[in-house]
């Protein structure tokens, strides 16, 4: 299927690994010109052929600088993907609400929510000009906030609400805004030896490999496996496409059937 994206310009945040890296690869494969922002530019990101920008999106001026460089390099902007996020650091993430400090709340909201606010603010004047698209990568944790660190899931809930608000305000200006909410994905958040999955396994007194093997069943994923980053990326690419021209203001869950509500 031709997604009609060839030659269009995109900025992707949090692009160095996992879902972000998969999104960059998918968009480049569709013929898009992509500026990929990440704090660390990895060899895997360079290999995609995207233009890589090293930027700390948790700083107040980082998001605007990324968008400005993207627009300057690409000559405009047709798509913004707000993918940057955090919640994959293991230590101190499994003790419950009373264990989180003000600094941890601040850090979670800065990276998972404010980075998207700032990047969107910089990008939307360009997206209205091109009648483009914006996709936020949230989490099913926004719908089931007990299923993860409360700082992370609450920030993602704010991000999901933010996407709804932008879709309503900027739809009349020709900009489509959608949210993608993955369940557990095979990324460092679960698989890294110092990530959230490893810390959760330690708190439960089991090996990390055992946790990952049992996680799909425990989460109610009827597919019996974790989500692949490329599957999330394919959904993002479709939502960026003119083929999804009447799809806006929606939150698209991709979690192997784990979310049971209508």
Catalytic residues: 152
Q: What are the CB-based long-range contacts (under 8 Å, 24+) for 57-61?
A: 57/13, 57/14, 57/84, 57/111, 57/115, 57/118, 57/119, 58/107, 58/110, 58/111, 58/115, 60/118
Angle at 221 between CA 217 and CA 223, to 5 degrees: 105
Return the DSSP state at 232: H
Is 45 exposed, middle or buried, given 0-12, 13-18 or 19+ CB atoms closer than 10 A?
Answer: buried
Q: Which residues fall within 8 angstroms of residue 195, CB to CB, at 6 or more apart?
A: 88, 89, 90, 188, 189
**How far is the C-alpha of 141 from the C-alpha of 157, rounded, in Å?**
8
198 close to 192: Cβ distance less than 8 angstroms: yes
The whole-angstrom distance between residue 163's C-alpha and the CA centroid of its chain comes to: 12
Strand order in the sheet with 176-182: 51-54, 33-38, 9-13, 79-82, 133-137, 176-182, 251-254
Q: Where are the beta strands (DSSP E) in the chain?
A: 9-13, 33-38, 51-54, 79-82, 133-137, 176-182, 251-254
> What token pair was written down for 39?
């704090």
């Amino acid at each position: 299927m031709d997604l009609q994206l060839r030659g269009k310009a995109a900025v992707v945040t949090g692009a160095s690994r996992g879902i972000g890296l998969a999104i960059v690869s998918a968009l480049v494969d569709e013929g898009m010109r992509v500026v990929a922002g990440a704090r660390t530019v990895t060899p895997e990101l360079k290999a995609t052929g995207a233009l890589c920008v090293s930027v700390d999106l948790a700083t107040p001026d980082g998001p605007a600088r990324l968008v400005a460089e993207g627009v300057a390099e690409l000559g405009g902007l047709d798509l913004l993907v707000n993918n940057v996020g955090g919640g994959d650091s293991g230590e101190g993430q499994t003790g419950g609400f009373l264990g989180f400090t003000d600094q941890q709340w601040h850090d979670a909201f800065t990276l998972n929510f404010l980075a998207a606010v700032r990047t969107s603010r910089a990008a939307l004047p360009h997206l209205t000009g091109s009648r483009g698209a914006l996709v936020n990568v949230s989490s099913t944790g926004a719908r089931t906030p007990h299923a993860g660190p409360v700082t992370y899931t609450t920030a993602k809930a704010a991000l999901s609400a933010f996407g709804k608000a932008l879709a309503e305000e900027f739809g009349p200006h020709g900009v489509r805004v959608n949210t993608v909410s993955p369940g557990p994905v095979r990324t460092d958040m679960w698989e890294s030896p110092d990530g959230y999955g490893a810390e959760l396994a330690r708190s439960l007194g089991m090996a990390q490999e055992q946790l990952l093997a049992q996680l799909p069943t425990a989460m109610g994923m009827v597919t019996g496996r974790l989500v692949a980053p490329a599957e999330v990326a394919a959904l993002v690419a479709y939502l960026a496409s003119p083929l999804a021209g009447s799809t806006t203001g929606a939150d698209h869950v991709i979690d192997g059937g784990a979310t049971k509500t209508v």
